Structure 1
Amino acid sequence: MTRIGAAGSAVAVLGVLGVSAGLTMTGPAPAPVADRAIAQAPAAASPVAAPITADVTTLPTTTTAPRTTTTKAAAKRTTAKPTTTTAATKQSSGMPCSISGDGACVDLSAKRVWLVQDGEVVRSAPMTSGRPGERTPTGTFHVTWKDADHRSSEFNDAPMPWSVFFNGGIAFHTGSLSRQSAGCIHLSDSVARTFFRTLSVGDTVVVVR
């Protein structure tokens, strides 16, 4: 019994000493085992999200060409205006003559005349010319004179309104479009008036067959 009592006393003394020692410690209390394990574990790296590639279609990279803006001024510089030529005029009007300035063209076979200014046709109309034995001569001539109220001294003072003479006594003037002439070029009154007002002395007259 004495031994047990002494041992118990010793344990009690040690317990008191332990408590006293705990009370007199100046440092922090030791962390629990679980907390120490967490504190000693190295900090885990921040998670980096891996790119999601499943079901993703990568579109090919395209290069968009720069948009070209054409200004009105640039278009005007690059668009060449077609030059009017006698050949182009002939093709568009059917005129068989080559006249670069002012004048008139007569096609005896086609029974048609063309009035030309600056190489361009400004009027085209039907006509009649000389009958057999008094055919209108072909060639290149020039207007020699004009008479708005001319009368023929050769044919009993026959009226020849709006006469434009280009080869001796041969002229453009108002006349029948259903009957041939004695060599002159018959035009309707309105066309003959236009020829008279437009043609000047010296202008070219070309007659072809």
Structure 2
Amino acid sequence: MAGTTRHDARRRRRSTGAARAGAIACAAVLAAVGITGSALAAEGGGDDLVEGTPCTVTARACVDKDARTAWLIHGGRVTHGPVDIGLGADGQETPKGTFTVQWKNKDHRSAEFGGEPMPYSVFFAPGGIAFHEGDPDHPSAGCVHLRYDDAVTFFEDLQVGDEVQVH
């Protein structure tokens, strides 16, 4: 260490010690967060699924595209369903994701499809995607078809701002 003084060597030891102490403190914080995160995951951490559905407890409406079924949920419990549903046709698939109810119209008519009736519409996804009365055995243009009684129940139960999960 040619050209360095004892003062320089002491400063280097202090800064190395401070860096080491900082690294140890950082590791301790990360370990604590990891432990807490593991505990939350073990307790569910807000990702609890509603029994019998693929949806979390925050959902008010749940759609399982693979099973072609839907449910209404309140307080983490199924209040209606499972019910049979119709989904979007090939090329017009019902989108997957988490959405919120945007608006409702009991007597809606489609502007896109020549005024076709869409009774008891509950709009929840971009592109005019809604739950509405329709034959579950016939594909839609992306909407979720429900039998009459189920459409009425979904319309009456869901409110603007409610969460809809589509899996």
TM-score (norm 2): 0.68
Tell me which amino acid in the other structure corresponds to 1:113: A
What are the equivalent positions in structure 2 for 1:149-168 lying under 5 Å apart?
Answer: 149-168=107-126
Q: What is the aligned counterpart of 1:145 among 99, 103, 122?
A: 103
Normalized per residue, which structure has more strand? 2
Q: What number of residue pairs does the alignment pair up?
A: 120
**Deviation >6 Å, runs of 4+:** none
Q: Which runs of 5+ in 1 are unaligned?
A: 1-84
What residue is the counterpart of 1:110 in the other structure? 67
Please say if residues 144 and 201 of structure 1, whose CA atoms lie closer than 8 Å, have aligned partners that are also in contact.
yes
Q: Distance in 2 between matches of 1:193 and 1:185?
A: 13
Tell me which amino acid in the other structure corresponds to 2:72: L
- The alignment yields a C-alpha RMSD, in angstroms, of 1.6
Q: Distance in 1 between matches of 2:103 and 2:154?
A: 13
CA-to-partner distance for each residue in 1:3-55, whole Å, 9 max, x for gaps? xxxxxxxxxxxxxxxxxxxxxxxxxxxxxxxxxxxxxxxxxxxxxxxxxxxxx
What residue is the counterpart of 1:24 in the other structure? none
Offset, 1:99? 2.6
TM-score (norm 1): 0.55
Give the number of the structure with larger relative contact order, counting CA–CA contacts within 8 Å between residues 6 or more apart.
2
What are the equivalent positions in structure 2 for 1:19-34 lying under 5 Å apart?
Answer: none
Please tell me whether residue 200 in structure 1 is matched to residue 154 in structure 2. no
Please say if residues 150 and 161 of structure 1, whose CA atoms lie closer than 8 Å, have aligned partners that are also in contact.
yes
In structure 2, relative to structure 1, the CA distance for the partners of 1:173 and 1:151 (3 Å cut) is same
What are the equivalent positions in structure 2 for 1:79-90 lying under 5 Å apart?
Answer: 87=48, 89-90=50-51
Q: Distance in 2 between matches of 1:149 and 1:202?
A: 20
Please say if residues 100 and 161 of structure 2, whose CA atoms lie closer than 8 Å, have aligned partners that are also in contact.
yes
Offset, 1:89? 3.6
